[in-house]
Amino acid sequence: MISADPIADRMPVFESAKGILTTHYDMDDVEELGLLKMDLLGQAGLSVLREAGDNLRENRGFTLNLHTDCDWRDEQTWEAIATGQARGVFHIESPAMTSLLMMTNCRDIDCLTAVESIIRPGAANEGKKRAYARRHQGLEPATYAHPSLEPLLKDTYGLMAYEEHILLVANGFAAMPWGRADMLRRALAKNKDRRRIAELGAEFRACAMRNGRCEEETAAVWQLMEDFAGYMFNKAHSAAYAVEAFQGAWLKARYPLEFLASVLTNRRGFYAPMLYVMEALRRGGRLLPPDVRHSGASRFLVREDAIRLPLNQVKGTGQDLPLRIVERRPYGGAGDFFRKVKPRRSEWIALLKAGAFDSFEEPRGRLFWRFCRLEAALTGGRQDGAALFETADPDSGLEDSRPSPRWEHELLGFPVSCHPLEYFAPHTDWSRYITAESLRADPRRYFGKQVEVCGLIVADRIHSTERGPMKFLTLADYTGFVEVSLFAEAYQAYGHLTVQPVVAVTAIADPFDNRKGCVLNGEFVELPYRAMSPATALTARM
């Protein structure tokens, strides 16, 4: 809120839970008082771009300037966008957006700008996502509710996609004054006060009649506008998001590790970190565990072809420990580290299990007992090694110096010393299944056919329908990701299996209209086929 007078003199205020001074009045009341309201968006996608540039400078000695280096006609980037390979890229990585980009075969900034808005509820309520995709590719002609709308809606093929389309149509078709057209835009954008919308709709029809439009034409155009009601973007907003999305896709296409490390650092993405880890591995990267000598406190660092996990990724280390570790470097050895940092017992045990002391080149078991003695000395002998060992898990296996994927998963959120699929689905016979790469490279081969896919569930979403709940799954294999839909009947029959980390799904490949890809409609779900018997697999894991 912006006011020439002290805010408290104009309205009641209070301090929110986050410590921000907040008004009791809602946005409409504030404007009725004549105050200026501004919405300032905290944009994490911009942080990802900035920090990816930092990673490039540190790892490659390359200073990035997106304004001059980014080529808007770059075929590699548009190929990634149009084929659903933009996971991690702000605003175009969700399953719905990925499918829409593939449906439209999006390969230019105008299309990307339109898609950014069409995905929103207002434009989507029109039921025109498929229509836009078809019209953009010439699969069906553009149509207009009235000839006067053609110059107004030509850029979106006769479909309403942007907020200003309401203004343009209200004025261009009905000669509604711009101020009143803006009131109509506000009412339709919020789509809450149906009485207000009805009042403005009557005013729109009256203006149209005075402008020489017939009742039938007016009803058709008003229906077009009313169907557009809901949250929507203006074109400038969509264009800004499109620019940011393209820059992210360009960065990922050329410098995937630097980009994905930045996504992981900022912890901002549609998916859980596991997906971005698997994407980094797929793009030729390696993961390195946290290291008290080399890791950042909170940043995922890129060194050549590897991503080094930060210290704050280790669960149970407290908020101040990672910074303390970085600030008190260098360390001459494990003993020097312990004396300088003085970690709590739970903290050094977590770091030890996560492999953060492996660069000291001492067996983990030996380090455990050394830290026991050091802690006893620092506490004045109040704890001896035996007592410390008793407080730890007696069956923890700390004497084993080998990396433990189980510990890594528990403490870091994902295994580091092996591929997640090796950890979650050992001994799976992947040769039985259609890969994500195969579906992406030659989708026409599978159209209308029954296919079997398998992967780690990296995202899922339940959606209510008239026939019952259905579920959407994102499955990751060694080659990429596939989206699978389990409609109500399939979800009711097999939904209980989707709590498992890795599943195999038999689905029908339903092609997009442009034949550039397909959706997988799941028919049944099962656990992955193993190359050996369950008993043998269990013995191998132990």
Q: Is 34 part of a structural domain of the chain? A: no
Looking at 198, 216, 236, which one is the last position of a domain? 236
Considering the domain architecture, whether residues 110 and 154 belong to the same structural domain is answered as: yes
Look at residue 4 and tell me if it is in a domain: no
Same domain? 216 vs 105: yes
Nearest to 365 by CA among 324, 397, 321: 397
Q: Residue 480 contacts by C-beta under 8 Å, 6 or more apart in sequence?
A: 85, 282, 435, 436, 437, 440
Residue 40 domain flag = no
For the chain, the average pLDDT equals: 90
Q: Are residues 453 and 497 in the same domain?
A: yes
- Of the candidates 59, 104, 68, the residue with the CA atom closest to the CA atom of residue 83: 104
Interval 1-52: pLDDT, tens: 888 888 888 889 998 877 888 888 888 888 888 888 888 878 889 999 999 9
* pLDDT of residue 275 exceeding 50: yes
In the chain, pLDDT over 90 holds for what percent of residues? Answer: 75
Q: In this structure, are 329 and 401 located in the same domain? A: yes
In a shared domain, residues 204 and 82: yes
Clarify whether residues 405 and 308 are in a common domain: yes
Could you list the residue range(s) of the whole structural domain that residue 223 is in?
74-236
Three-state DSSP at 531 gives: coil
- The Cα–Cα gap between 304 and 151 comes to 52
Q: Is residue 38 part of a domain?
A: no
Q: Is there a single domain that holds both residue 396 and residue 459?
A: no
What tokens does 50 get?
């900035």
Between these two residues, 121 and 44, which has the higher pLDDT value? 44
CA separation for the pair 452, 475 (Å, rounded): 12
Cα gap 531→428, rounded to integer Å: 6
What crossing angle do the helices spanning 215-226 and 163-174 adopt, rounded to 10°?
170
More confident residue, 228 or 454: 454
DSSP state of 356: T
Flag whether 425 is in a domain. no
Alpha-carbon distance 134 to 53, whole Å? 37
Q: Is the pLDDT of residue 539 over 80?
A: no
Q: How confident is the model at residue 449 (pLDDT cuts 50, 70, 90)?
A: very high
Q: Domain of 474: which CATH number?
A: 2.40.50.140
Domain identity same for 104 and 178: yes
Determine contact, residues 269/276, Cβ cutoff 8 Å.
yes
For 42-63, the pLDDT digits (tens) are 888 999 999 999 999 999 999 9
In this prediction the pTM is: 0.87
Helix (H), strand (E) at residue 261? helix 256-266
Higher per-residue confidence, 282 vs 230: 282
Cross-strand partners of 286: 306
The structure tokens listed for 187 are: 């009412």
Cα 238 to Cα 241: distance, rounded to the nearest angstrom: 5
379-420 pLDDT per residue, tens: 765 544 444 444 444 445 555 567 899 999 999 999 999 999
DSSP state of 456: E
- Identify the three-state secondary structure at position 186: helix
Of 350, 383, 418, the residue at which a domain comes to its end is 418
Same structural domain, 83 and 222: yes
Residue type, 97: M
291 and 405 together in one domain: yes
CA distance 31 to 430: 60
Q: How many structural domains comprise the chain?
A: 3
Report if residue 267 sits inside a domain.
no
pLDDT score, position 392: 45
Report which of residues 505 and 319 the model is more confident about: 505
**Do residues 52 and 301 touch, judged by C-beta distance below 8 A?**
no
Taking CA 272 as the corner, what is the angle to CA 62 and CA 311, rounded to the nearest 5 degrees? Answer: 60
Is residue 485 one of the residues assigned to a domain?
yes
Q: Are residues 414 and 434 in the same domain?
A: no
Q: Mean pLDDT throughout 310-327?
A: 94
* Whether residue 379 is found in the same domain as residue 459: no
Alpha helices by DSSP H, listed for 161-254, are 163-174, 178-190, 194-210, 215-226, 235-254
The pLDDT of residue 400 is 59
Write down which residue in 236, 267, 299 finishes a domain.
Answer: 236
- Give me the mean pLDDT over the 102-114 stretch: 96
Q: Distance of CA 26 to CAs 11, 188, 251, 269, 405, Å?
A: 11, 18, 40, 30, 50
Backbone angles phi, psi at 308, to 5 degrees: -95, 125
**Residue type (1 letter), 538:** L
Q: Is residue 183 part of a domain?
A: yes
Across residues 86-115, what is the average pLDDT?
Answer: 95
For residue 447, pLDDT beyond 80: yes
Identify the weakest region by mean pLDDT among 121-135, 170-184, 313-327. Answer: 121-135
